[in-house]
């Protein structure tokens, strides 16, 4: 496995003169460059996933106004993606209109790519992942997949860094990761049919697996990878909250289905908000799912005495 | 002009608080989490007051204020927490780090403006 993660960047730059330098930079800096025609940008953004950032250019369109308009449109569609602009003279955002300056996180010139390296490190590769972690996750996961999907060969790509927040596939799982040195989530996502195709090999025709089987299998896969991660990188003393019990959440957005890993009911509240002037309504549903523990006999209510009544919104001075 | 740093991972809160404070004649800088807050504070010695949430990704607000006093060795900037948290333990931790005031959300600008102006001056 290549030790360093890579990242996919959209290259919106029509200059053949700079193309070679940009490509070389990408090859040398763990970036996978995806070139896009101007008329395909919107559709690519709609369909392309797992992007780390965008390399843009000052002369991308036929006029500065059009270049600015496209940049604003891209930023509006994907505000989480860092956009870095190539300029002709100086590696700075100075001189760009205020409205467009804010959409770029940095600038570079091809005569000195160190500015681009700096911006890439700050905005794309902004978290450093220990090599042992990268190797370990790949090992744990391939072992789990090998155990759950017998007779299936598993391989993996170089890990990659994403700033996109687009979800894809049809079903995903979520589980919390919590230790003294890291806290966050693991998410597994896949497409139902392709997963089912692997599952359906040795199953009776009368009871073919359906989406619930995918959900169960994804849940168990998540559980096992999480367990492997926990055993190797978290240990007994790692939990910040004193408990390490977690169950995966499964969301199947194709079937509008969510599982909290329990058959416990969900306590629901429906709030209806109405604008009395326009009579427009919005409905908000709150669901309380006590899937990890529920002991109503120990129910208690905390009242915090601040030595005097302090309303919410008021300041309590120390 | 008195400058305030507002640190909150919620853009809704950052917008609400900074719009109110700017409308009241104060200069505002914003940050999206504790790490960003430290960077912005260190870069701008004109910031006199930090208003920070507690529950934020990357670095929570209480860790941030402890680092302001510790690693940044900044003992002069005033610190206020604006948070959903109201537990005595959290308040004690904030007090120990030099936090001057604690506001339980929601933010009510009129109730806190004079105090903010005084602490930011």
Contact (Cβ atoms closer than 8 angstroms) between residue A55 and residue A74? no
Lowest mean pLDDT among A71-85, A290-304, B2-16, B34-48: A290-304
Joined tokens for residue A191: 């497409």
Q: Which residues of B touch A317 (CB under 8 A)?
A: 100-101, 115
Substitution target from A80, A240, A307, A318 for chain B, most B beta carbons within 10 A? A318
Kindly report the number of other CB atoms within 10 A of residue A155's CB atom: 6
Residues 6+ apart with CB under 8 A from A185: A174, A175, A176, A177
Q: Which domains does chain B have, with CATH numbers?
A: 3-120 (3.40.50.2300)
Please give the Cα distance from A177 to A137 (Å, whole number).
13
pLDDT digits (tens, 9 = 90+) for B56-115: 888 999 999 999 999 999 999 999 999 988 888 899 999 999 999 999 888 899 999 999
Joined tokens for residue A288: 């309380």
In angstroms, the separation between the Cα of residue B46 and the nearest Cα of chain A is 22
Decide if A310 touches B, using CB distance below 8 A. yes
| A304 contacts B87? CB cut-off 8 A | yes
Are β-strands A53-57 and A31-35 bridged in parallel, bridged antiparallel, or unpaired? unpaired
Please report where in the chains the tokens 């289905």 appear, as a residue. A257
Please give the Cα distance from B39 to B22 (Å, whole number).
21
Taking the model in full, what pTM does it have? Answer: 0.80
Q: Which residues of A touch B112 (CB under 8 A)?
A: 313-315
Decide if A306 touches B, using CB distance below 8 A. yes
Substitution target from B104, B106, B109, B110 for chain A, most A beta carbons within 10 A? B104
Instruction: Report chain B's terminal Cα–Cα distance, integer Å.
Output: 8
ipTM: 0.83
Identify the closest residue of chain A to B58 by CA–CA distance.
A183
Q: Which residues of B touch A305 (CB under 8 A)?
A: 88
> Is the per-residue pLDDT at B50 higher than 70?
yes
Ranges of chain A with pLDDT below 70: 1-2, 48, 200-207, 236-244, 303-309
Selecting from B87, B95, B104 the residue whose C-beta is nearest the C-beta of A318 gives B95
Identify the closest residue of chain A to B101 by CA–CA distance.
A317
Please give the Cα distance from B18 to B117 (Å, whole number).
13
pLDDT digits (tens, 9 = 90+) for A62-99: 998 999 999 999 999 888 999 999 999 999 999 998 88
Selecting from A302, A305, A316 the residue whose C-beta is nearest the C-beta of B102 gives A316
pLDDT for position A205: 57
In angstroms, the separation between the Cα of residue B43 and the nearest Cα of chain A is 16
Q: Which domains does chain A have, with CATH numbers?
A: 6-123 (3.40.50.2300), 131-259 (3.40.1550.10)
| Three-state DSSP state, A32 | strand
| B87 contacts A313? CB cut-off 8 A | no
Please give the Cα distance from B83 to B85 (Å, whole number).
5
Residues 6+ apart with CB under 8 A from A43: none
Q: Which residues of A touch B4 (CB under 8 A)?
A: none
In angstroms, the separation between the Cα of residue A310 and the nearest Cα of chain B is 9
Q: Which residues of B touch A313 (CB under 8 A)?
A: 103-108, 111-112
pLDDT digits (tens, 9 = 90+) for A35-68: 887 788 888 887 767 899 999 999 999 998 999 9
Identify the closest residue of chain A to B104 by CA–CA distance.
A312
């Amino acid at each position: 496995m290549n030790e360093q993660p890579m990242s996919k960047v959209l290259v919106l730059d029509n200059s053949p003169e700079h193309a070679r330098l940009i490509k070389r930079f990408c090859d040398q800096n763990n970036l996978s460059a995806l070139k896009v025609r101007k008329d395909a940008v919107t559709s690519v953004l709609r369909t392309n996933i797992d992007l780390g950032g965008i390399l843009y250019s000052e002369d991308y369109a036929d006029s500065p106004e059009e270049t600015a308009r496209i940049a604003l449109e891209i930023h509006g569609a994907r505000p989480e993606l860092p956009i870095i602009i190539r300029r002709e003279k100086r590696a700075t955002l100075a001189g760009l209109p205020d409205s467009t300056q804010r959409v770029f996180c940095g600038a570079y010139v091809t005569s000195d790519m160190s500015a681009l390296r700096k911006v890439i490190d700050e905005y794309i590769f902004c978290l450093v992942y220990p090599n042992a972690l990268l190797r370990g996750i790949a090992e744990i996961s391939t072992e789990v997949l090998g155990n759950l999907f017998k007779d299936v060969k598993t391989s993996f790509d170089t890990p990659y860094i994403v700033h996109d927040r687009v979800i894809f596939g049809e079903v995903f799982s979520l589980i919390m990761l919590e230790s003294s040195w890291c806290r966050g989530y693991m998410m597994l996502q896949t497409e139902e049919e392709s997963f089912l195709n692997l599952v359906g090999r040795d199953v009776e025709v009368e009871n073919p697996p359906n989406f619930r089987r995918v959900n169960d299998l994804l849940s168990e896969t998540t559980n096992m990878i999480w367990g492997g991660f926990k055993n190797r990188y978290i240990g007994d003393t790692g939990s910040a909250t004193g408990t390490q019990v977690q169950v995966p959440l499964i969301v199947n957005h194709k079937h509008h289905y969510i599982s909290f890993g329990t058959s416990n009911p969900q306590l629901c509240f429906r709030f209806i908000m109405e604008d009395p002037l326009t009579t427009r309504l919005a409905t908000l549903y709150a669901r309380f799912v006590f899937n990890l523990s529920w002991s109503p006999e120990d129910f208690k209510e905390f009242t915090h005495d601040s030595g005097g009544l302090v309303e919410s919104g008021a300041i309590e001075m120390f | 002009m008195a400058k305030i740093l507002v640190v909150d991972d919620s853009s809704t809160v950052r917008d609400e608080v900074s719009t109110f404070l700017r409308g009241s004649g104060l200069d505002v800088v914003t940050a999206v989490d504790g790490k960003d807050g430290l960077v912005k504070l260190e870069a701008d010695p004109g910031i006199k007051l930090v208003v920070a949430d507690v529950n934020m990704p990357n670095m929570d607000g209480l860790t941030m204020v402890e680092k302001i006093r510790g690693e940044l060795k900044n003992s002069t900037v005033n610190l206020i927490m604006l948070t959903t948290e109201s537990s005595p333990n959290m308040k004690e931790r904030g007090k120990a780090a030099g936090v001057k005031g604690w506001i339980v959300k929601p933010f009510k600008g009129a109730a806190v403006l004079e105090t903010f102006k005084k602490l930011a001056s």
